[in-house]
Amino acid sequence: MQTLDSMSRLLQTPLKGLVFLYIQGHCQYKVLMILIRRTSAQRELIKIKYSSLTGKPLIESTVCEFFGHQKYLALCLLHTGPDADAFILRRSTRCFSRDYTILVHLCVSRSSEQISLVKESYFKMYKQQLSKRIRLSTFGKYKQMLTYLIEKPRSVAPGDPALAAKQAKLFYSQFGISVFTYLDRYSGKYEFTLLSICRYALDPLKYYAGYLKRSILNGRFRDVICIIATRCEIDLASIFAKYRLLFNSSPKKEINEMFQHKFPTIVFALNRLMGEN
């Protein structure tokens, strides 16, 4: 078993890989292999050791010397807890970002308590209020919906099945279709957010499995990375079990088939995070 000192020293050398551009990809691979073999708690200790050895934060080194999806995965792993969500939200609200599906996913799937911690982390990391960032990067009803999800506390009281059934019947009698079918007809971000809220409220595990399935089918690799990196130590096994039950297929196999040829190093790393699921 490697000590924290030895792991930190292993990280120190490859993160200087830009000096030798022809082996840069190999250096990134070495760093990822160290990160994926450690728990989030161990990665936190490595960050402390790395900083004490080099005088530079490990995250800062990764930002400077990693690129593309490898950089995204490495930073998702190096940020832990609410810091990870804050980092992902920052990336998802950049100008011209196509990661609106990730932005909606995080806003919908986090509890009020989790959102509060993410807001604290976001301000600590970026010296800006998360709600302000979202208002600046979105518009219209979509902006109003996301701002509401970020700013308003959510009820933790149990739902009323009878009331929900009554409202569902009322909606069906008026439109002749279910609310899911109705919202699914539209391609707007506002409708997508409403649909995500309904799906998550009905069955969180089914929501996660469906979100993963759609991300794979649509080639949204960052979404796949986000799910695996943020859930691998929480409930990824349960999500995968629900996935197999719903779709009669292996999510791990489908991820490999869709992305292995284009991103072999990252898919290999994701396979390690997915484990035997």
Residue 24 inside a domain? The answer is no
Domain end residue (candidates: 200, 219, 250) = 200
**How confident is the model at residue 21, as a pLDDT?**
31
221 and 271 housed in the same domain: yes
Q: For residues 9 and 23, which has the higher predicted lDDT (pLDDT)?
A: 9
Give helix 140-151 / helix 112-126 axis angle, nearest 10°: 100
CATH number for 236: 1.10.220.10
What pLDDT is stored for residue 62 in this prediction? 83
Domain that holds residue 187: 161-200
Q: Looking at the structure, tell me whether residues 208 and 271 fall in a common domain.
A: yes
Look at 122-136, 147-161, 209-223, 227-241 and tell me which has the smallest mean pLDDT.
147-161
238 to 27, 205, 232, 269, 270: CA distances (angstroms): 33, 7, 10, 20, 17
Asked whether the beta carbons of 17 and 23 are under 8 A apart, the reply is yes
pTM: 0.86
Question: Are 195 and 210 found together in one domain?
Answer: no
Same domain, 207 and 271: yes
In the numeric block, the tokens 């982390």 are attached to 121
Residue 26 lies in a domain: no
Confidence at residue 54, expressed as pLDDT on a 0 to 100 scale: 77
What length is written for the chain? 277
For residues 172 and 232, state if they share a domain. no
CB 87 within 8 Å of CB 46 = no
Whether residue 219 sits in one domain with residue 264:
yes
Kindly state whether residue 20 falls inside one of the protein's structural domains.
no
Instruction: Write out pLDDT tens, residues 19-67.
Output: 333 234 446 777 788 889 889 998 888 888 878 877 888 888 888 778 8
End-of-domain residue from the set 200, 224, 250: 200
- Is 131 a domain residue? no
The 3-state secondary structure of the chain reads CCCHHHHHHHHHCHHHHHHHHHHHHHHHHHHHHHHHCCCHHHHHHHHHHHHHHHCCCHHHHHHHHCCHHHHHHHHHHHCCCHHHHHHHHHHHCCCCCCCHHHHHHHHHHCCHHHHHHHHHHHHHHHCCCHHHHHHHHCCHHHHHHHHHHHHCCCCCCCCCHHHHHHHHHHHHHHHCCCHHHHHHCCCCHHHHHHHHHHHHHHCHHHHHHHHHHHHHHCCCHHHHHHHHHHHCCCCHHHHHHHHHHHHCCCHHHHHHHHHCCCCHHHHHHHHHHHCCC
Q: How many whole angstroms separate alpha carbon 142 and alpha carbon 188?
A: 9
Look at the chain and report how many structural domains it folds into: 2
Encode 233-267: b = buried (16+ Cβ within 10 Å), e = exposed. eeebeebbebbeeeeeeebbebbbebbeeebebbb
Q: What is the pLDDT of residues 194-206, one digit of tens each?
A: 999 989 988 999 9
Q: Is residue 171 part of a domain?
A: yes
Rounded CA-CA distance 232/272 in Å is 10
**Residue 271 shares a structural domain with residue 245:** yes
Q: Is residue 172 located within the same domain as residue 228? A: no
- Residue 94: the pLDDT is 86
210 and 272 within one domain: yes
In a domain, 266, yes or no: yes
- Position 19 scores a pLDDT of 30
> Does pLDDT of 163 surpass 70?
yes
The whole-angstrom separation of Cα 42 and Cα 6 is 13
Is residue 235 domain-shared with residue 272, that is, in the same domain? yes
**Separation between Cα atoms, residue 127 and residue 120, nearest integer Å:** 10
Residue 196: inside a domain = yes
**Is residue 172 domain-resident?**
yes
pLDDT at 20: 34
Q: Enter the tokens of residue 75.
A: 């930073």
Same domain membership, residue 227 and residue 249: yes
Q: Do 216 and 270 share a domain, yes or no?
A: yes
